[in-house]
Amino acid sequence: MDRIPILRLGRVLLASIQQELTDDIALALQQDLTEMAAAGADGVIIDISGVDVVDSFLARVLSEIAAAARMLAGETVVAGMRPSVAITLVEMGLSLRGLRTARSLSDALSALGLGEARIQGRS
Amino acid sequence: MTAVGSGRSGAAVVAEVLDARREQLAQQWADLPLFRTVYTSGRDAAVTAAHRLVDTLADVAHGERVEDTTVPALDRIRPHLAQTINARTRAGCSSPQFTAEVAELKTPLMAIVAQELTDEDRYSGLLAAAALMGTLRLVVMEILLNQGDDIIDRQRQQLLEVSTPIIKLWDRVIAVPLIGTLDSARTQVVMETLLDAIVDQHAAVAILDITGVPLVDTVVAQYLMKTAMAVRLMGAECVISGIRPQIAQTIVQLGIDLGDIKTRATLADALAWALEQAGARIASKE
Amino acid sequence: MSPEAVTRLPVTSDVQISGARHAVREAAIAAGFSLVEQTKLVTAASELARNTLVHGGGGHMEITTLGRDQRGIRLTFTDSGPGIPDVAAALSDGYTTGQGLGLGLGGARRLVNEFAIDTGPGRGTTVTVASWPRGARRVTL
Ligand SMILES: Nc1ncnc2c1ncn2[C@@H]1O[C@H](COP(=O)(O)OP(=O)(O)O)[C@@H](O)[C@H]1O
Ligand SMILES: [Mg+2]
């Protein structure tokens, strides 16, 4: 099983999902993010621009990551949802209440109070 | 009707003729406009296609159901007929013209049937052959009708798309003025067009202006909520503007809860709010 | 050539749920579904395949293309698990006997054109759904 890599950008954790998500990989991501958040972070960004299906299982995983992160590390921002995924979630009746969303990675960083300049400065 | 002659059914004798004279009939059909105009690459392809049609009709006749357009044997040629119709339509052939071309297939078949059969079988055989060709024509008309529906549907869809313009009001602020009644199909188009525009234009705020929507009931409110929720999932803010006093009243009276969706009386108010947001965002970046 | 082409896939592990999603996506593309229509059907399939695995103890999925013009898709999810004693409750939003959100069955029903469920205590469960792309002729399940 390939785990999803988690990057640390200063005090923000970034996971970018670029691969097919099996349930096991999603659960491993939840575990890894929660552990890293507990070790110290101010926010979490999950980039789902590469995800073509979000079902209620993945929705639950995302909500649980956000709930745990809120206790340990502050806000979680889900970035880059595709239009087809957003429409499907709404038709299904899943509104992901309580999750912050952002159009893009850079919007997510500004939402967490980190400008683009700052990441560029660090990379 | 009962056969007068040999006691065999008309369908059975036609089936025999089709089997015995398969080659002759296919060769004759291949020269008719229906096949000749479609298979321009060569006569072989036209003959192959004609064989397929002869064999299918023989199967139908063997099954005795010469008047039944739903027999599974006919399903084998439906895709080919549909392709042929497409090709002919593209070449400018009209539906009546196409049906006439199909009707032309009847003459060689009737001639062969009349010639092959003995006096006692001829009458019932000709009747069955005519019925079989009638069935083929019905199948063709059915396909033509379905394709007509597809075309009408495509045009309706295109109309919906052009009647949903997305306006860029400001950097990262877009608006869609909704005019007329909102139904489920329209809502789907609005949602898709709006969300695609959010991606293309990196919009941070999307304004749904309902000034031109005559009636807001629970169903329409539901559509608006869905659209607003989808916009939010994409990471943009949604504002509904153009809520006339009368509409506000209806919404309250119907007990509709718009949740935490932002509403403004006019498009200008919504834009002012959007700019304020953008301003706040710029300030926080510094 | 039969007018109905059927593909059958096992659903006995979480990797096979991904496999089911891929197979449904391919069928939907071949049948001319728009991106949104594909995503709705694939998401419904993901929910139902997971139910087959998690609640039904594993089973299989069948993909059938429908109609003379092969533009509709029917999906059947079958298991011989415990069955659902109260279908109405299972279909209602938020109802779960496990750790899920309880939105799988109800959500899947809202994402497809037709939905049918055949189940009962001790009888296993079969869920059948069907969808058509915009503008396609429909035949019933
Ligand atoms: N294939 C199945 N076999 C047995 N029970 C099922 C099956 N599918 C659904 N159920 C029952 O219906 C309930 C609701 O299903 P669903 O809406 O998908 O929510 P969730 O899977 O999140 O629990 C499940 O908790 C389970 O009790
Ligand atoms: Mg479920």
Residue to probe by mutation, ligand 1, list C46, C53, C75, C84, most atoms within 8 Å of CB = C84
Q: How many other C-beta atoms are found inside a 10 Å radius of the C-beta of residue C62?
A: 15
Query: Would you state the pLDDT for residue B1?
Result: 44
* pLDDT tens digits, B135-186: 898 888 888 887 776 666 666 666 666 667 888 988 899 999 988 777 888 8
Query: Would you state the pLDDT for residue A123?
Result: 27
Q: What residues make up the domain containing C117?
A: 3-131
Sheet with A75-79, strands from edge to edge, namely A6-9, A12-16, A43-47, A75-79, A100-102
pLDDT above 90 coverage of chain C, percent: 79
Question: What CATH number is given for B10-158 in this structure?
Answer: 1.10.490
- What's the average model confidence in pLDDT over C24-53? 95
- Give C135 to chain B, closest Cα distance, Å: 6
Residues 6+ apart with CB under 8 A from B216: B210, B224, B247, B250, B251
* pLDDT tens digits, B39-74: 877 888 889 999 999 999 999 999 988 888 888 888
In a domain, C67, yes or no: yes
* pLDDT tens digits, C103-131: 999 999 999 999 999 999 999 999 999 99
Query: Would you state the pLDDT for residue C141?
Result: 46
The pLDDT confidence band at residue C62, using thresholds 50, 70 and 90, is very high
Which residue in the set A20, A59, A83 is minimally distant from C18, CB to CB?
A: A20
Residue B2 has pLDDT above 50, yes or no: no
- A-chain residues near B235 (CB < 8 A): 78-81, 101-104, 107-108
C100 lines ligand 1 (CB under 6 A): yes
What is the spatial distance between Cα A30 and Cα A58, in angstroms, rounded to a whole number? Answer: 10
Task: Please spell the DSSP secondary structure of A15-80, one letter per residue.
Answer: EE--S---HHHHHHHHHHHHHHHHTS-SEEEEE-TT-S---HHHHHHHHHHHHHHHHHTSEEEEE-
Beta-carbon pairs below 8 A across chains A and B = 58
Instruction: With CB atoms and an 8 Å threshold, state whether C103 touches A20.
Output: no
Which comes out higher in pLDDT, residue C138 or C4? C4
Count Cβ neighbours within 10 Å for each residue of B123-140 and write b for 16 or more, e otherwise: bbbbbbbbbbbebbbebb
Is B29 within 8 Å of B101 (Cβ atoms)? no
In a domain, C22, yes or no: yes
Residue B282 has pLDDT above 50, yes or no: no
Query: Would you state the pLDDT for residue A120?
Result: 34
Is A93 within 8 Å of C93 (Cβ atoms)? yes
C102 lines ligand 1 (CB under 6 A): yes
Instruction: With CB atoms and an 8 Å threshold, state whether C137 touches B146.
Output: yes
- Give A89 to chain C, closest Cα distance, Å: 9
**Mean pLDDT over all residues of chain B?**
85
The highest-level CATH class for domain B167-277 is: alpha beta
C124 lines ligand 1 (CB under 6 A): no
Domains of chain A and CATH, by start: 6-119 (3.30.750.24)
**H helices, E strands: number in chain C:** 4, 5
In a domain, C139, yes or no: no
Instruction: With CB atoms and an 8 Å threshold, state whether C36 touches B76.
Output: no
Query: Would you state the pLDDT for residue A2?
Result: 85
The parts of chain A modelled with pLDDT lower than 50 are 117-123
C53: which 2 tokens?
């695995």
Residue B95 has pLDDT above 90, yes or no: no
Q: Is the ipTM of this complex over 0.95?
A: no
Question: Is the full-model pTM beyond 0.95?
Answer: no
Counted domains in chain C: 1
Query: Would you state the pLDDT for residue B6?
Result: 67
Strand bridging mode A100-102 / A75-79? parallel
Where are the domains positioned within chain B? 10-158, 167-277
CATH number for the domain including C26?
3.30.565.10
Is B104 within 8 Å of B32 (Cβ atoms)? yes
* pLDDT tens digits, B204-249: 999 999 988 888 888 888 888 899 999 999 999 999 999 888 888 8
In a domain, C115, yes or no: yes
Instruction: With CB atoms and an 8 Å threshold, state whether A93 touches C46.
Output: no
Query: Would you state the pLDDT for residue B151?
Result: 65
C80: which 2 tokens?
């011989």
Q: How far is the CA of C105 from the centre of ligand 2 (A)?
A: 6
